[in-house]
Structure 1
Amino acid sequence: MKASAPKPKWSDVSAMSSTTKSYWAQWDSLLIQDGVLCRKWENGRGDRCHLQMVVPKAKVPDVLQLYHSDCSGGHLEVKRTLLKIRERFYWVHCRDDVEDWCRKCTSCATVKGPQIRNRGELKLYNVGAPWERIAIDVAGPFPESESGNKYFMVAMDYFTKWPEVFAIPNQEASTVADKLVHEVFCPFGVPLEIHSDQGRNF
């Protein structure tokens, strides 16, 4: 390109790396300005064009450090870091490198915390008699019935697996408590334990 030579033939680059082939495919968008290899970039509408400096592979970490990790970078997310870099620079697999850099950034990982939260250990709860422990839950919303109910409240005994299901108009705490007292506790008695998902309705 410095010698203003024509585009090389495919046979000349077919045995070279994928990076070389990628630049070869973009030959018409490349030019040398002030001794620096640049790439012409146009937006999708074709009404905006600017030059991007082609970054050698050895200098990619320097650009990533400057545009993401340094004070001027601000540890932005992948999309915004990529937009900032593409305003001035280009290299093959730029997006992959930005995603990898942001994923491995210790400062970002410290702020975000682990992606998978630790959960409590699952345990087997044994019961030895009916009504020792019951489970309660609310399902819905479902299509409203003629009587105005849109939810089901389920109460089940752990020992006998006996379920009781009640239609309720909403899942407010007062509605759930009223149904529990009058339809569960009064007929069957108060259980020793009640197991729920600790939602606001309970």
Structure 2
Amino acid sequence: MKEVYRGAFSTHANGHALARKIIQARYYWSKMESDCYEYVKRCMKCQMYVNNIHMAPAILHNLTSPWPFSMWELDMIGPIKPKASNRHRFILVAIDYFMKWVEVASYANVTKNMVIKFIKRDIICCYGLPGRIIMDNGTNLNNKMMTKL
């Protein structure tokens, strides 16, 4: 049972499917299906991800930008290990929604002031004031200085 369930070609199937696979492998015992259900209930991977499988699909909303460089998304990548040759560990990425244009800068440490400076120097000075900047909930991207900007 363990080899069929977790083997090289396993799918972490439910109890009924596991029993069918065992039968296809030409094995059978009297309480096989109930044993398979119990075995699946004890699998940690399946228990961790079972809710994700049965989640209702969420409604998708299109984010459309009316003109180039009017809507940007900011995200921070890092810390990156090992450090780059210039000791930088973080990458700040800005992507324009309309043209998919990317602006990138690397930093050794990321502070609120560095993010503001990046937006002013690499986005506003080059492409004009954006109508909207979308950010995730990173602590260095969500602050009062960003709201003022």
TM-score computed with the length of structure 2 as normaliser: 0.52
1:150 to 62, 79, 89: 89
Gapped regions of structure 2 (runs ≥ 5)? 1-27, 43-47, 142-149
Map Cα deviations across residues 67-94 of structure 1 (whole Å, 9 max, x no partner).
xxxxxxxxxxxxxxxxxxxxxxxxx888
Q: Which runs of 5+ in 1 are unaligned?
A: 1-16, 20-56, 58-91, 103-111
Evaluate the alpha carbon distance shift between residue 142 and residue 179 of structure 1 in structure 2; reply closer, same or farther with a 3 A threshold.
farther
Distance 1:94 1:146 in 2: 58
Identity of aligned residues (%): 23
Aligned length: 107
Write the mapping of 1:48-197 to structure 2, written as runs, cut at 5 A. Answer: 96=36, 98=38, 115-116=51-52, 117=55, 120-140=58-78, 141-197=80-136
* 2:126 alignment partner AA: P
Offset of 1:193 from its aligned partner? 0.9
Match of 1:18 in 2: 29
C-alpha separation in 1, matches of 2:59 and 2:41? 34
**Change in 2 beyond 3 A, CA 1:135/1:196:** same
1:17-60 deviation line (CA, Å, top 9, x unaligned): 834xxxxxxxxxxxxxxxxxxxxxxxxxxxxxxxxxxxxx8xxx
Secondary structure of 2:68's aligned partner: coil
**Separation in 2 of the partners of 1:139 and 1:18?**
52
Deviation, 1:166, is 0.7
**Contact 1:152/1:167 (CA < 8 Å) preserved in 2?**
yes
TM-score by length of 1: 0.40
- Could you say if the C-alpha distance between residues 95 and 130 of structure 1 is closer, same or farther in structure 2, counting changes exceeding 3 Å? same
1:127 positional shift: 1.7
Q: Closer, same or farther in 2 for the Cα pair 1:99/1:137, shift >3 Å?
A: same
Which structure is richer in relative contact order (CA contacts within 8 A, separation 6 or more)? 2
- Aligned to 1:178, the other structure's residue is in SS state helix
CA distance in 1, matches of 2:129, 2:110: 21
Q: What is the Cα-based RMSD across aligned positions, in Å?
A: 3.6
Structure with greater strand share of residues: 1
Equivalent AA in structure 1 for residue 135 of structure 2: S
